[in-house]
Structure 1
Amino acid sequence: MTVDFQTSLFDAAACEVSPERRHLSAGAWVDVARDWLPDADDVLATLVREVPWRAERRAMYDRVVDVPRLVFTYMIGEELPHPTLTAARERLDERYAEELGEPFRTAGCCYYRDGRDSVAWHGDTIGRGSTHDTMVAIVSVGDPRRLHLRPRDPQRRDEAFAVEMGHGDLVVMGGSCQRTWEHAVPKVAAAGPRISVQFRPLNVF
Protein backbone atom coordinates (compact mmCIF):
# COMPACT_ATOMS: atom_id res chain seq x y z
CA MET A 1 0.00 0.00 0.00
CA THR A 2 1.19 3.53 -0.71
CA VAL A 3 0.17 6.85 0.73
CA ASP A 4 -0.21 10.11 -1.15
CA PHE A 5 -0.39 12.66 1.66
CA GLN A 6 1.12 16.11 2.06
CA THR A 7 3.64 16.33 4.89
CA SER A 8 2.53 18.20 8.00
CA LEU A 9 4.30 21.43 8.88
CA PHE A 10 3.71 20.88 12.60
CA ASP A 11 5.55 17.62 13.37
CA ALA A 12 8.84 19.25 14.27
CA ALA A 13 7.12 21.54 16.76
CA ALA A 14 4.74 18.98 18.26
CA CYS A 15 4.50 19.32 22.03
CA GLU A 16 2.22 18.56 24.93
CA VAL A 17 -1.21 19.99 24.13
CA SER A 18 -3.95 20.12 26.74
CA PRO A 19 -7.33 18.83 25.51
CA GLU A 20 -10.32 21.13 25.65
CA ARG A 21 -13.49 19.54 27.05
CA ARG A 22 -17.01 19.91 25.70
CA HIS A 23 -19.70 18.74 28.12
CA LEU A 24 -22.65 17.00 26.47
CA SER A 25 -26.06 15.90 27.71
CA ALA A 26 -26.67 12.82 29.86
CA GLY A 27 -23.25 12.91 31.50
CA ALA A 28 -21.22 12.56 28.30
CA TRP A 29 -18.23 14.65 27.27
CA VAL A 30 -15.65 14.99 24.50
CA ASP A 31 -12.04 16.20 24.81
CA VAL A 32 -10.25 17.57 21.74
CA ALA A 33 -6.53 18.35 21.37
CA ARG A 34 -5.11 19.63 18.09
CA ASP A 35 -1.63 18.58 16.85
CA TRP A 36 -1.37 16.29 19.87
CA LEU A 37 0.67 13.46 18.33
CA PRO A 38 4.36 14.03 17.50
CA ASP A 39 5.89 12.43 14.39
CA ALA A 40 2.47 12.13 12.78
CA ASP A 41 3.90 11.79 9.26
CA ASP A 42 6.14 8.88 10.24
CA VAL A 43 3.34 7.25 12.26
CA LEU A 44 1.04 7.36 9.22
CA ALA A 45 3.64 5.87 6.87
CA THR A 46 4.54 3.15 9.38
CA LEU A 47 0.92 2.18 10.05
CA VAL A 48 0.16 1.87 6.34
CA ARG A 49 3.26 -0.25 5.82
CA GLU A 50 3.44 -2.37 8.98
CA VAL A 51 -0.09 -3.04 10.23
CA PRO A 52 -1.43 -6.40 8.95
CA TRP A 53 -4.61 -4.80 7.63
CA ARG A 54 -7.57 -7.01 6.91
CA ALA A 55 -10.84 -6.52 5.10
CA GLU A 56 -13.94 -7.71 6.94
CA ARG A 57 -17.42 -8.67 5.83
CA ARG A 58 -20.52 -8.21 7.96
CA ALA A 59 -24.09 -9.43 7.88
CA MET A 60 -26.53 -6.61 7.18
CA TYR A 61 -30.22 -7.44 6.98
CA ASP A 62 -30.49 -10.28 4.43
CA ARG A 63 -27.01 -10.08 2.91
CA VAL A 64 -23.29 -9.96 3.73
CA VAL A 65 -21.46 -6.77 2.78
CA ASP A 66 -17.87 -5.51 2.81
CA VAL A 67 -16.93 -3.32 5.78
CA PRO A 68 -15.97 0.01 4.15
CA ARG A 69 -12.52 0.34 5.76
CA LEU A 70 -9.57 -1.89 6.69
CA VAL A 71 -9.10 -2.88 10.33
CA PHE A 72 -6.74 -4.45 12.84
CA THR A 73 -6.64 -4.50 16.65
CA TYR A 74 -3.58 -4.73 18.87
CA MET A 75 -4.66 -6.69 21.92
CA ILE A 76 -3.33 -6.58 25.49
CA GLY A 77 0.41 -7.17 25.58
CA GLU A 78 0.96 -6.85 21.83
CA GLU A 79 3.62 -4.37 20.72
CA LEU A 80 2.32 -1.34 18.88
CA PRO A 81 3.79 -0.68 15.42
CA HIS A 82 5.36 2.70 16.26
CA PRO A 83 7.05 3.89 19.49
CA THR A 84 5.17 7.19 19.29
CA LEU A 85 1.91 5.28 19.73
CA THR A 86 3.32 3.50 22.78
CA ALA A 87 4.31 6.87 24.21
CA ALA A 88 0.88 8.27 23.33
CA ARG A 89 -0.84 5.51 25.29
CA GLU A 90 1.40 6.25 28.27
CA ARG A 91 0.51 9.95 28.05
CA LEU A 92 -3.19 9.06 27.96
CA ASP A 93 -2.80 6.76 30.96
CA GLU A 94 -1.05 9.50 32.90
CA ARG A 95 -3.58 12.20 32.04
CA TYR A 96 -6.76 10.18 32.57
CA ALA A 97 -5.65 7.75 35.32
CA GLU A 98 -7.63 9.40 38.12
CA GLU A 99 -10.75 9.98 36.04
CA LEU A 100 -10.80 6.63 34.24
CA GLY A 101 -9.41 4.54 37.09
CA GLU A 102 -7.62 2.07 34.81
CA PRO A 103 -5.19 2.06 31.89
CA PHE A 104 -5.91 1.93 28.18
CA ARG A 105 -5.20 -1.65 27.11
CA THR A 106 -6.05 -2.21 23.42
CA ALA A 107 -5.49 -0.22 20.22
CA GLY A 108 -7.96 -0.68 17.39
CA CYS A 109 -6.83 0.66 14.01
CA CYS A 110 -9.08 1.71 11.11
CA TYR A 111 -7.71 2.59 7.66
CA TYR A 112 -9.95 4.91 5.65
CA ARG A 113 -8.37 4.63 2.20
CA ASP A 114 -10.41 7.39 0.55
CA GLY A 115 -13.72 9.22 0.87
CA ARG A 116 -15.70 6.07 0.15
CA ASP A 117 -14.54 4.43 3.38
CA SER A 118 -16.68 5.20 6.42
CA VAL A 119 -18.19 3.97 9.68
CA ALA A 120 -21.92 4.07 10.41
CA TRP A 121 -23.63 5.47 13.50
CA HIS A 122 -22.77 3.42 16.58
CA GLY A 123 -21.55 3.47 20.17
CA ASP A 124 -18.83 1.23 21.58
CA THR A 125 -21.37 -0.65 23.69
CA ILE A 126 -20.12 -4.23 23.44
CA GLY A 127 -18.73 -4.96 26.90
CA ARG A 128 -18.63 -2.56 29.82
CA GLY A 129 -19.44 0.48 27.71
CA SER A 130 -23.08 -0.61 27.63
CA THR A 131 -23.51 -0.17 31.40
CA HIS A 132 -20.59 1.87 32.74
CA ASP A 133 -18.95 5.23 32.06
CA THR A 134 -15.70 4.71 30.19
CA MET A 135 -13.40 6.35 27.63
CA VAL A 136 -12.32 5.79 24.05
CA ALA A 137 -9.34 7.88 22.94
CA ILE A 138 -8.92 8.36 19.18
CA VAL A 139 -5.69 9.52 17.56
CA SER A 140 -6.04 10.46 13.88
CA VAL A 141 -3.30 10.67 11.23
CA GLY A 142 -3.73 11.49 7.56
CA ASP A 143 -6.33 13.50 5.70
CA PRO A 144 -8.90 15.29 7.89
CA ARG A 145 -12.28 13.61 8.35
CA ARG A 146 -15.28 14.71 10.38
CA LEU A 147 -16.36 12.69 13.41
CA HIS A 148 -20.11 13.25 13.80
CA LEU A 149 -21.80 12.84 17.18
CA ARG A 150 -25.49 12.79 18.10
CA PRO A 151 -27.59 11.78 21.14
CA ARG A 152 -29.20 8.34 21.00
CA ASP A 153 -32.45 9.97 22.12
CA PRO A 154 -34.18 11.07 18.87
CA GLN A 155 -35.81 13.96 20.74
CA ARG A 156 -32.37 15.47 21.42
CA ARG A 157 -30.98 15.24 17.89
CA ASP A 158 -30.73 19.04 17.67
CA GLU A 159 -27.66 18.69 19.93
CA ALA A 160 -25.74 16.85 17.19
CA PHE A 161 -22.37 18.27 16.13
CA ALA A 162 -19.16 17.26 14.36
CA VAL A 163 -15.45 17.46 15.14
CA GLU A 164 -12.94 17.60 12.31
CA MET A 165 -10.09 15.23 13.14
CA GLY A 166 -6.90 16.46 11.51
CA HIS A 167 -3.39 15.04 11.18
CA GLY A 168 -2.13 14.27 14.70
CA ASP A 169 -5.32 15.31 16.50
CA LEU A 170 -6.74 13.58 19.59
CA VAL A 171 -10.41 13.12 20.48
CA VAL A 172 -11.45 11.41 23.72
CA MET A 173 -15.09 10.39 24.25
CA GLY A 174 -15.83 9.96 27.93
CA GLY A 175 -18.45 9.71 30.63
CA SER A 176 -21.64 8.12 29.33
CA CYS A 177 -20.79 8.99 25.71
CA GLN A 178 -20.71 5.41 24.39
CA ARG A 179 -24.16 4.47 25.66
CA THR A 180 -26.01 7.81 25.48
CA TRP A 181 -24.50 9.19 22.26
CA GLU A 182 -23.58 7.76 18.85
CA HIS A 183 -20.74 8.65 16.51
CA ALA A 184 -19.98 8.13 12.82
CA VAL A 185 -17.50 8.98 10.07
CA PRO A 186 -19.67 9.35 6.94
CA LYS A 187 -18.58 9.01 3.34
CA VAL A 188 -17.37 12.17 1.57
CA ALA A 189 -16.96 13.10 -2.06
CA ALA A 190 -13.17 13.12 -1.91
CA ALA A 191 -10.52 12.44 0.76
CA GLY A 192 -7.01 11.10 1.03
CA PRO A 193 -5.94 8.23 3.31
CA ARG A 194 -6.60 8.52 7.01
CA ILE A 195 -5.92 6.13 9.89
CA SER A 196 -7.51 6.28 13.33
CA VAL A 197 -6.12 4.50 16.38
CA GLN A 198 -8.67 3.92 19.15
CA PHE A 199 -7.22 3.28 22.60
CA ARG A 200 -9.69 1.47 24.88
CA PRO A 201 -9.71 0.08 28.42
CA LEU A 202 -10.22 -3.62 29.10
CA ASN A 203 -13.48 -5.10 27.75
CA VAL A 204 -14.65 -1.96 25.94
CA PHE A 205 -15.42 -2.53 22.25
Structure 2
Amino acid sequence: MSLPLQGSLFDGDAVVLGSLADVRRTRLDATAWVDVLPGWLGGASTVFERLAERVPWHAERRPMYDRVVDVPRLVSFFAEHDPLPDRILVTARDALSSHYASELGEPFRTAGLCYYRDGRDSVAWHGDTIGRGATDDTMVAIVSVGAPRTLLLRPRGGGPSTRFTAGHGDLLVMGGSCQRTWEHAVPKTTRPVGPRISIQFRPRGVR
Protein backbone atom coordinates (compact mmCIF):
# COMPACT_ATOMS: atom_id res chain seq x y z
CA MET A 1 0.00 0.00 0.00
CA SER A 2 1.35 3.42 -0.93
CA LEU A 3 0.84 6.78 0.72
CA PRO A 4 1.51 10.29 -0.56
CA LEU A 5 4.71 11.85 0.69
CA GLN A 6 4.17 13.64 3.98
CA GLY A 7 6.60 16.47 4.70
CA SER A 8 8.12 16.57 8.16
CA LEU A 9 7.03 19.27 10.61
CA PHE A 10 10.75 19.88 11.15
CA ASP A 11 11.63 20.10 7.46
CA GLY A 12 11.79 23.78 6.52
CA ASP A 13 11.65 25.19 3.00
CA ALA A 14 15.38 25.98 2.80
CA VAL A 15 17.41 23.36 0.95
CA VAL A 16 20.69 23.26 2.89
CA LEU A 17 23.32 20.79 4.05
CA GLY A 18 24.36 20.37 7.65
CA SER A 19 27.86 19.88 9.01
CA LEU A 20 29.57 16.59 8.26
CA ALA A 21 31.48 16.97 11.51
CA ASP A 22 28.45 15.42 13.23
CA VAL A 23 28.58 12.13 11.32
CA ARG A 24 28.75 9.01 13.51
CA ARG A 25 30.57 5.79 12.55
CA THR A 26 29.47 2.22 13.26
CA ARG A 27 32.12 -0.47 12.86
CA LEU A 28 30.64 -3.58 11.26
CA ASP A 29 33.90 -5.47 11.73
CA ALA A 30 37.63 -4.78 11.58
CA THR A 31 37.54 -3.58 7.97
CA ALA A 32 33.97 -2.46 7.16
CA TRP A 33 32.04 0.51 8.54
CA VAL A 34 28.95 2.67 8.09
CA ASP A 35 28.70 6.40 8.77
CA VAL A 36 25.25 7.86 9.56
CA LEU A 37 24.10 11.47 9.83
CA PRO A 38 20.32 11.88 10.28
CA GLY A 39 18.80 14.97 8.66
CA TRP A 40 21.97 16.08 6.87
CA LEU A 41 19.92 17.54 4.01
CA GLY A 42 17.46 20.21 5.08
CA GLY A 43 14.47 20.85 2.83
CA ALA A 44 14.31 17.17 1.92
CA SER A 45 10.62 17.34 0.95
CA THR A 46 11.41 20.06 -1.58
CA VAL A 47 14.28 18.02 -3.02
CA PHE A 48 12.06 14.94 -3.25
CA GLU A 49 9.46 16.87 -5.25
CA ARG A 50 12.10 18.28 -7.60
CA LEU A 51 13.70 14.90 -8.26
CA ALA A 52 10.40 13.09 -8.69
CA GLU A 53 9.49 15.60 -11.40
CA ARG A 54 12.84 16.24 -13.12
CA VAL A 55 14.66 12.91 -13.18
CA PRO A 56 14.19 10.71 -16.29
CA TRP A 57 13.00 7.66 -14.36
CA HIS A 58 12.74 4.30 -16.07
CA ALA A 59 11.94 0.72 -15.18
CA GLU A 60 14.47 -2.07 -15.68
CA ARG A 61 13.99 -5.76 -16.39
CA ARG A 62 16.54 -8.40 -15.40
CA PRO A 63 16.90 -12.14 -16.01
CA MET A 64 16.22 -14.26 -12.93
CA TYR A 65 16.53 -18.02 -13.22
CA ASP A 66 14.44 -18.99 -16.27
CA ARG A 67 12.53 -15.73 -16.79
CA VAL A 68 12.89 -11.95 -17.05
CA VAL A 69 11.34 -9.94 -14.23
CA ASP A 70 10.65 -6.29 -13.49
CA VAL A 71 13.09 -4.59 -11.12
CA PRO A 72 10.87 -3.44 -8.19
CA ARG A 73 11.83 0.27 -8.25
CA LEU A 74 12.46 3.01 -10.80
CA VAL A 75 16.05 4.03 -11.53
CA SER A 76 18.18 6.67 -13.21
CA PHE A 77 21.98 6.85 -13.54
CA PHE A 78 24.15 9.93 -14.02
CA ALA A 79 27.65 9.16 -15.27
CA GLU A 80 30.73 11.18 -14.44
CA HIS A 81 30.17 13.97 -16.97
CA ASP A 82 26.35 14.01 -16.96
CA PRO A 83 24.73 17.12 -15.46
CA LEU A 84 22.96 16.25 -12.21
CA PRO A 85 19.22 16.98 -12.02
CA ASP A 86 19.44 19.39 -9.08
CA ARG A 87 22.13 21.78 -7.90
CA ILE A 88 21.97 20.46 -4.32
CA LEU A 89 23.24 17.09 -5.58
CA VAL A 90 26.35 18.79 -6.93
CA THR A 91 26.85 20.55 -3.60
CA ALA A 92 26.34 17.30 -1.67
CA ARG A 93 28.72 15.33 -3.89
CA ASP A 94 31.43 18.00 -3.53
CA ALA A 95 30.97 18.21 0.25
CA LEU A 96 31.25 14.44 0.59
CA SER A 97 34.32 14.33 -1.66
CA SER A 98 36.01 16.95 0.51
CA HIS A 99 35.06 15.34 3.82
CA TYR A 100 36.20 11.83 2.86
CA ALA A 101 39.23 12.85 0.77
CA SER A 102 41.80 11.52 3.23
CA GLU A 103 40.13 8.09 3.45
CA LEU A 104 38.77 7.65 -0.06
CA GLY A 105 41.68 9.27 -1.90
CA GLU A 106 39.50 10.35 -4.83
CA PRO A 107 36.26 12.26 -5.40
CA PHE A 108 32.78 10.84 -5.79
CA ARG A 109 32.01 10.92 -9.52
CA THR A 110 28.66 9.31 -10.36
CA ALA A 111 25.12 9.40 -9.01
CA GLY A 112 22.64 6.55 -9.17
CA LEU A 113 19.04 7.31 -8.16
CA CYS A 114 16.35 4.83 -7.09
CA TYR A 115 12.67 5.68 -6.67
CA TYR A 116 10.86 3.42 -4.19
CA ARG A 117 7.22 4.18 -4.90
CA ASP A 118 5.75 2.23 -1.98
CA GLY A 119 6.47 -0.73 0.30
CA ARG A 120 6.35 -3.18 -2.61
CA ASP A 121 9.47 -1.61 -4.12
CA SER A 122 12.73 -2.99 -2.78
CA VAL A 123 16.30 -4.03 -3.52
CA ALA A 124 17.60 -7.54 -2.81
CA TRP A 125 20.77 -8.45 -0.95
CA HIS A 126 23.83 -7.32 -2.88
CA GLY A 127 27.13 -5.44 -2.75
CA ASP A 128 28.26 -2.81 -5.25
CA THR A 129 30.87 -5.12 -6.75
CA ILE A 130 30.69 -4.22 -10.44
CA GLY A 131 34.11 -2.76 -11.19
CA ARG A 132 36.66 -1.89 -8.51
CA GLY A 133 34.23 -2.54 -5.67
CA ALA A 134 34.86 -6.27 -6.13
CA THR A 135 38.56 -5.97 -5.26
CA ASP A 136 39.25 -2.62 -3.58
CA ASP A 137 38.04 -0.77 -0.52
CA THR A 138 35.73 2.01 -1.62
CA MET A 139 32.76 4.10 -0.47
CA VAL A 140 29.12 4.48 -1.44
CA ALA A 141 27.40 7.55 0.01
CA ILE A 142 23.60 7.48 0.12
CA VAL A 143 21.38 10.52 0.64
CA SER A 144 17.69 9.72 1.17
CA VAL A 145 14.67 11.94 0.66
CA GLY A 146 11.09 10.93 1.28
CA ALA A 147 9.58 8.36 3.59
CA PRO A 148 12.02 6.42 5.79
CA ARG A 149 12.83 2.85 4.79
CA THR A 150 14.83 0.14 6.52
CA LEU A 151 18.28 -0.61 5.14
CA LEU A 152 19.78 -3.91 6.30
CA LEU A 153 23.41 -5.02 6.21
CA ARG A 154 24.70 -8.56 6.81
CA PRO A 155 28.01 -10.38 6.28
CA ARG A 156 28.38 -11.63 2.72
CA GLY A 157 26.97 -15.13 2.48
CA GLY A 158 24.50 -14.65 5.33
CA GLY A 159 24.41 -14.06 9.05
CA PRO A 160 22.75 -11.68 11.51
CA SER A 161 21.77 -8.36 9.96
CA THR A 162 22.36 -4.83 11.23
CA ARG A 163 19.45 -2.42 10.77
CA PHE A 164 19.61 1.24 9.77
CA THR A 165 16.84 3.68 8.85
CA ALA A 166 17.31 5.89 5.79
CA GLY A 167 14.96 8.68 4.84
CA HIS A 168 14.07 12.37 4.92
CA GLY A 169 17.46 13.98 4.44
CA ASP A 170 19.51 11.25 6.10
CA LEU A 171 23.07 10.43 5.00
CA LEU A 172 24.50 6.90 5.14
CA VAL A 173 28.00 6.09 3.90
CA MET A 174 29.26 2.52 3.52
CA GLY A 175 33.05 2.32 3.55
CA GLY A 176 36.12 0.18 3.95
CA SER A 177 35.57 -3.38 2.74
CA CYS A 178 31.78 -3.06 3.11
CA GLN A 179 30.92 -3.70 -0.55
CA ARG A 180 33.15 -6.81 -0.75
CA THR A 181 32.54 -8.39 2.64
CA TRP A 182 28.99 -7.29 3.46
CA GLU A 183 25.68 -7.13 1.60
CA HIS A 184 22.88 -4.59 1.92
CA ALA A 185 19.17 -4.61 1.09
CA VAL A 186 16.00 -2.54 1.30
CA PRO A 187 13.31 -5.14 2.06
CA LYS A 188 9.69 -5.01 1.02
CA THR A 189 7.19 -4.05 3.70
CA THR A 190 3.44 -4.52 4.10
CA ARG A 191 3.22 -1.41 6.25
CA PRO A 192 1.66 1.62 4.58
CA VAL A 193 4.66 3.71 3.55
CA GLY A 194 5.17 6.72 1.34
CA PRO A 195 7.65 7.07 -1.53
CA ARG A 196 11.40 7.46 -1.09
CA ILE A 197 14.23 8.49 -3.41
CA SER A 198 17.76 7.25 -2.74
CA ILE A 199 20.76 9.08 -4.25
CA GLN A 200 23.96 7.01 -4.30
CA PHE A 201 27.25 8.76 -4.93
CA ARG A 202 30.15 6.53 -6.03
CA PRO A 203 33.77 6.98 -7.17
CA ARG A 204 34.79 6.26 -10.73
CA GLY A 205 34.60 2.59 -11.71
CA VAL A 206 32.30 1.46 -8.89
CA ARG A 207 28.72 0.26 -9.52
Structure 2 length as normaliser, TM-score?
0.93
Cα distance in 2 for residues equivalent to 1:46 and 1:30 = 28
Please name the residue that 2:141 is paired with.
137
> What's the secondary structure of 2:183's corresponding residue?
strand
Cα distance in 2 for residues equivalent to 1:153 and 1:55 = 28
- Aligned pair count? 200
Q: CA deviation at 1:11?
A: 3.3
1:197 aligns with 2:199: yes
Cα distance in 2 for residues equivalent to 1:16 and 1:38 = 11
Structure 2, unaligned runs of 5 or more: none
Alignment of 1:38-53 (within 5 A): 38-53=42-57
Please name the residue that 2:19 is paired with.
16
Indicate the larger mover: 124-133 or 15-24. Answer: 15-24
Over the residues paired in the alignment, what is the CA RMSD in angstroms? 1.4
Q: Report % sequence identity.
A: 62
> What's the secondary structure of 1:43's corresponding residue?
helix
Amino acid in structure 1 at the alignment position of 2:195: P
Amino acid in structure 2 at the alignment position of 1:136: V
Report if the CA contact (8 A) 2:167-2:196 is conserved: no
Please name the residue that 2:66 is paired with.
62
Amino acid in structure 2 at the alignment position of 1:202: R
Cα distance in 2 for residues equivalent to 1:191 and 1:129 = 32
Report if the CA contact (8 A) 1:26-1:176 is conserved: no
Q: CA deviation at 1:38?
A: 2.4
Structure 1 length as normaliser, TM-score?
0.93
> What's the secondary structure of 2:59's corresponding residue?
strand
Amino acid in structure 2 at the alignment position of 1:184: A
Alignment of 1:101-180 (within 5 A): 101-154=105-158, 157-158=159-160, 160-180=161-181
Indicate the larger mover: 129-138 or 23-32. Answer: 23-32
Cα distance in 2 for residues equivalent to 1:116 and 1:49 = 21
Cα distance in 1 for residues equivalent to 2:133 and 2:100 = 17
Report if the CA contact (8 A) 1:152-1:182 is conserved: yes
Please name the residue that 1:82 is paired with.
86
Q: CA deviation at 1:166?
A: 2.2
